[in-house]
Structure 1
Amino acid sequence: MPSAAPQPEWVVAQRRAIGERIRATRLRERLTQETVALDSGIDRPSIVRIEQGQQSPTLDTLIRIADAIGVPLADLVS
């Protein structure tokens, strides 16, 4: 089975920017990664990878993270 083609750099840059917004918003709300993980039902290592831009979260995952942080989804992705 052929491997997936690498994402264009602009996509990777956007993924990193979203991860940075998630982290900044989480810190602004004074929440730990563990708290967001527990409240969202997403394991902490995934939260770490998403914040670092190493993992592409699904829309459902982003919705759960936004809810756990207590902000609208648009705050994390715009």
Structure 2
Amino acid sequence: MPSATPKQLAQRKAFGARVRQLRLAAGLSQEELAHRAELDRSYVGQVERGERNISLDNIYRLADAVQCSPVDLFVR
């Protein structure tokens, strides 16, 4: 499988930083966010660090867990 480009890595990091920002604003730990989103805690950590190419399904799960629209997870 080809490696991610620098642009893709930057996009993943920006997305992860936004997830972390919204998680903290909601007063949630990674563990609680993972529980609410029905995801593994280590997966949430990898998303927040920009290490995962997250699926659309999981974007919706995270948005529901922090009670926002999926579009709000993307940096504006």
User: Is residue 77 of structure 1 aligned with residue 74 of structure 2?
Assistant: yes
Unaligned runs of 5+ in 2: none
> What TM-score, normalized by structure 1, do the two folds share?
0.91
Residue 55 of structure 1: how far off its partner (Å): 1.1
Unaligned runs of 5+ in 1: none
Runs (4+) of structure 1 moved beyond 3 Å? none
Residue 25 of structure 1: how far off its partner (Å): 0.7
Distance 1:34 1:5 in 2: 31
What does 1:5-20 align with in structure 2 at a 5 Å threshold?
A: 5-20=2-17
Which residue pairs with 2:29 in the alignment?
32
The percentage of counterpart residues that share the same residue type is 33
Distance 1:67 1:22 in 2: 12
CA RMSD for the aligned pairs? 0.8
Which residue pairs with 1:59 in the alignment?
56
**Bigger radius of gyration among the two:** 1
> What TM-score, normalized by structure 2, do the two folds share?
0.93
